[in-house]
Amino acid sequence: MRLPYVFGELLHIIFPSSCPACGRLAVPFCEECLNDAASQPPPPFCAECGGPYGRPCCYGGVPCYAAAFHEGAARDFILALKYRNMRALGLAMGARMSKLAEGIEADCIVPLPLHKGSRRAYNQTELLARGIASRRGLDVEARAMSWAERRAPQSGRNAAERAGVSGASFRVSERLRGKRVILVDDVYTTGGTARAAIAALRKAGAVPAAVMLWSRRTRGSAEASDGPEEPQYLL
Return the DSSP state at 136: H
pTM over 0.75: yes
Q: What is the pLDDT of residue 102?
A: 87
Q: What is the pLDDT of residues 88-103, one digit of tens each?
A: 999 999 999 999 988 8
Tell me the pLDDT tens digit for each residue of 97-130: 999 988 899 999 999 999 876 778 899 999 999 9
Q: What is the pLDDT of residue 202?
A: 96
Q: What is the pLDDT of residues 29-62, one digit of tens each?
A: 999 999 999 999 999 999 988 899 987 777 778 9
Beta bridge partners of 170: 147
Confidence at residue 222, expressed as pLDDT on a 0 to 100 scale: 42
> What does 161-221 look like in DSSP terms, one character per residue?
HHHHTTT--EEE-GGGTT-EEEEEEEEESSSHHHHHHHHHHHHTT-EEEEEEEEEE--TTG
pLDDT of 160 > 60? The answer is no
The topology (CATH level 3) of 41-223 is Rossmann fold (3.40.50)
Instruction: Please indicate whether residue 184 or residue 220 has the higher confidence score (pLDDT).
Output: 184
Closest CA to 124 of 136, 111, 109: 111
